[in-house]
Amino acid sequence: MAEPIVRATALHKHFGALHVLKGVDLQVAERELVFIIGPSGSGKSTLLRCLNRLETPESGSVVVDGIDLLDRRTDLNHARQRIGMVFQSFNLYPHMTALGNVTLALRKMAGKSRAAADAAGMAALERVGLADRAGHRPGQLSGGQQQRVAIARAIALEPRVMLFDEPTSALDPELVGSVLAVMRALRESGMTMVVVSHEMGFARAAADRVVFMDDGMIVEQGRPAEIFETPSQARTQAFISQIQRH
Amino acid sequence: MGNWDRFIETFFNAKVMARYWPDIVDGLWVTIGLAASVVVTGLVAGLALALLRSLGWRVVNWGIVLVVDLFRALPPLVIIVLIYFGLPSLDIVPSGFVSTWVSLSLVLMAFSEEIFWAGLTAVAKGQWEAARSTGLGFGQTLLWVVLPQALRITIPPLTNRTIAITKGTALGSVVAVTEILGQASSAVSNSYNPSPLTLGAAAYLVLFIPVVAFGRWVETRFAWRR
Amino acid sequence: MIETFFNIGILAQAWPIILAGLGNTLLLSLLVVPLGLGGGMLLALLSTLRNPWIRWPLIAWVDFFRAFPPLVLLIFLYAGLPFAGLELGGFTCVGIAFFLNTGAYYGEVLRAGIESVAQGQVEAARSTGLSRGQALVWVVLPQAVRAVMPDLLSNTLEVVKLTSLASVVALPELLFQARQAQSLTYNPTPIVAAAVVYFLLLWPVVRLLSRLENRAIAGRG
């Protein structure tokens, strides 16, 4: 196997007295889609947020695309441009248009001119099917459209890896499909993706690997069919059957 | 002469008004100049303190909070008097204009720092995270993402507070600033007639009624819409 | 510097004078705060009448006294009215000026509070047979006052600070007394002492307000 593009090793993280990551290892190969599932409080979001250092683990190492994120000499802002992130609550900038949201980092950090940034931004909006909404503010867009703009904001920076933190959890059911369609297209273009989500149907159809986390540890991982149909651990079994009952 | 005529003669004496009209206009300009200086220095200083506070240096922040509390608790007239009558003991002799300008600026600084700071903290944490996740640094996130949203929230309370403090320019008359009230008062004692005070009052209304109406408009206009 | 601004000898000398001033400032506040609150409540209640013949003059009244610097109002009453043969004395002038000025501010605050109470509250009260006035007094006002408590408190802080204006019309409150002491001793220590007294008196209020306001503005984000 080639060198993985994401290599997190022995991560430990506390929030106060709460031990949320208890020595987690995660490797993601290039062009792989890894899906992380688990009950709330299992540490899956924290793990994801360690991968672009929105959270800093107390020990362990995180190397993404050859860059050591925990090294003090690393230019974190530069590194983060290669790691796109999509949030549960979109976090679009309400005072800017869709295009403004997408181009801000391009102009201020990647140092592109306004024209070049606008061109790249429009291309990104085109990819999520929202080029015609470029001039709209977040308040004028539906939740699904907002989340697609957020995806465009991340892909405009041409990241090597995309992190999705429950991207559809805040959406009305009828809007989920449009966001998943964009994620599927992204996957088909060969993007490396790490997704924390409860969309089991999407996991079955698109994931290369499913990781089940509980209580700050990775309990088991494998191909979607294995995890969903023949899990080897009792905890996984309990979680899967609970999810499927709903 | 009827009561009404006597009232007019006393408070709206045309001859006295014509005589002291230029003085009141001079005072109007001083008031405008003083008010404008206070607004600029007070708001700039307040914003600077709020930004400094956002860096989260604990000892510095204690200092900021103490200074802010101090100038929110002290009556502006007390600060003016303290500077005007107190500093000369140190051989620093500020004019009445400078005393009033510095005092009101300090007061506006304190109030606006509180408002700016509340606005900054009101911007959701997710906005910081989203911006940082695209590689923007602390300063850039503050400047391009957080501050514009914070300013929008703070505009209505800030406008009202700024208007209220700007009206304090009349306090300058106590320390011999020749603004509207100062001019009007000395005109009254020179002419033995209160008509200049009527003129002065009218000048304040001409100056501040549009400002108060503007404040009302801002309050409805900037109700936060997403 | 200590010798100049914190002169212990002078402080001891001036202390009784300053203390008397503090007493008067407190008394004055106890008078003008209820006066302004009463005036404000009157304005706010009048504004609930939807009649345009009341509404517009009311807005004009409030804006008029919000635009008028309180010191100008005070001087007009104190130095202007005697020319019309009306000598009111400093105390009465302060009372009237505060009633007009702070009443307008309290009125705005209370009006906003009343408007913030949901219409459904009145409807519910009326549906149980309460009269319009009863609904206002027992259902709307308690909620309104609670909703604008921080603003009422903030306004009250400003009113107490504003009592320092009374020094201009020779009312022996804290600032006036301090200036008297200063001119007797040729030393600014009494004024510094007055400032310290004001700060100690009002600091707890400022602290409390700062918490309440942070919460209020944060809620709008």
Would you list the domain boundaries of chain C? 2-218
The percent of residues in chain B predicted with pLDDT above 70, rounded, is 97
pLDDT, residue C15, reads 86
Which of chain B's residues have a Cβ under 8 Å away from the Cβ of A110?
A: 135
Which of B78, B149, B216 is facing C195, going by the closest CB pair? B78
State the pLDDT at residue C83.
84
Q: Does C2 score more than 80 pLDDT?
A: no
Angle between helices B14-54 and B96-122 (to 10 degrees): 40
Select from A53, A58, A62, A71 the least CA-distant residue to A21.
A58
- Residue B224 pLDDT > 50, yes or no? no
**pLDDT of C212:** 82
pLDDT tens per residue, range A82-100: 999 999 999 999 889 999 9
**pLDDT tops 70 at residue A246:** no
Dist. CA C137–CA C130, nearest whole Å:
10
ipTM of the complex: 0.87
Confidence band, pLDDT 50/70/90 cuts, at residue C218: low
| Residue predicted with more confidence, C216 or C158 | C158
Q: Which of B129, B131, B135 sits opposite A78 (nearest CB)?
A: B135
Task: Map tokens 């003085």 to a residue.
Answer: B23
* A68 bridge partner residues: A63
- Considering only the beta carbons, identify the residue of C84, C188, C198 that sits closest to B89: C188
pLDDT tens string A24-81: 999 999 999 999 999 988 999 999 999 999 999 999 999 999 999 999 999 988 898 8
Q: Is A154 on the interface with B (CB under 8 A)?
A: yes
The reported pLDDT for the residue numbered A83 is 93
User: Residue C47 corresponds to which tokens in the numbers above?
Assistant: 């504004």
pLDDT at C135: 84
Q: Percent of chain A scored above 70 by pLDDT?
A: 99
pLDDT at C26 over 80: yes
The pLDDT value given to residue C6: 75
Contacts B–C by Cβ distance under 8 A:
159
pLDDT score recorded for residue C221: 40
* Chain B residues in contact with A91 (beta carbon < 8 A): 124, 126-127, 129-130
Domains, chain B, in order of start with CATH, read: 19-222 (1.10.3720.10)
The pTM of the whole model exceeds 0.80: yes
Q: Give the H or E element holding residue B120.
A: helix B96-122
Sign of CA dihedral C108, C114, C116, C119: negative
B6 chain-C contacts, CB cut-off 8 A: 84
Give the model's pLDDT for residue C219. 56
Of A7-11, A104-108, A123-127, C131-135, the least confident: C131-135
Query: pLDDT, tens digit, for every residue of C37-73?
Result: 999 999 999 988 878 888 889 988 888 888 889 999 9
pLDDT at C217 over 80: no
Between chains, do B204 and C220 touch, taking CB under 8 Å as contact?
no
Quick: pLDDT tens for A165-178: 999 999 999 999 99
Confidence of residue B211 (pLDDT cuts 50, 70, 90): confident
- Residue A147: exposure state from Cβ atoms within 10 A (0-12, 13-18, ≥19): buried
Beta-strand relationship, A67-68 and A59-64: antiparallel
Identify the pLDDT of residue A1: 55
Residue B145 pLDDT level (bands cut at 50, 70, 90): very high
Helix/strand/coil for B223: coil
CA–chain centroid gap for C127, Å, is 38
Subunits next to A (3 or more Cβ pairs <8 Å) are B
Region B90-103: what's the mean pLDDT?
92
CB contact under 8 A, A91 and B130: yes
**Per-residue pLDDT at C138:** 84
Report the percent of chain C where pLDDT is more than 70: 96
Mean pLDDT value of segment C23-39: 93
Cβ contacts (< 8 Å) between B222 and chain A: which residues? none
Beta pairing, strands A6-15 & A59-64: antiparallel
Nearest-CA distance C141 → chain B (Å):
23
CATH architecture designation of domain C2-218:
Orthogonal Bundle (1.10)
Q: Does residue C216 have a pLDDT over 80?
A: no
**Residue A154's pLDDT band (cuts 50, 70, 90):** very high
Q: What is the mean pLDDT of chain B?
A: 89
User: Three-class SS of residue C49?
Assistant: coil
- Evaluate if residue B197 carries a pLDDT over 70: yes
Report the pLDDT averaged over residues C14-27. 90
Chains in contact with B via at least 3 Cβ–Cβ pairs below 8 Å: A, C
Q: Given this model, what pLDDT does residue B101 score?
A: 97
The residues near C36 (Cβ < 8 Å, ≥ 6 apart) are: C98, C99, C101, C102, C103, C105, C106, C155, C159
**Nearest CB partner across the interface for B148, out of A79, A95, A154:** A95
B10-14, B28-32, C37-41: least confident range: B10-14
pLDDT of residue C119: 79
Among B11, B77, B216, the residue with its CB nearest the CB of C164 is: B77
Which of C8-12, C87-91, C193-197 is most confident?
Answer: C193-197
pLDDT tens sequence across C151-163: 999 999 999 999 9
User: B151 and chain A: CB distance < 8 Å anywhere?
Assistant: no
| B102 pLDDT above the threshold of 50 | yes
Task: From B126, B135, B142, select the one nearest B48 (Cα to Cα).
Answer: B142
pLDDT at B223: 58
pLDDT at A176 (0 to 100): 93
Query: Coil, helix or strand for A25?
Result: strand
Residue A113 in this model has a pLDDT that exceeds 50: yes
C184 touches chain B (CB under 8 A): no
**Predicted pLDDT at A236:** 92
pLDDT tens digits along B47-71 = 999 999 999 899 999 999 999 999 9
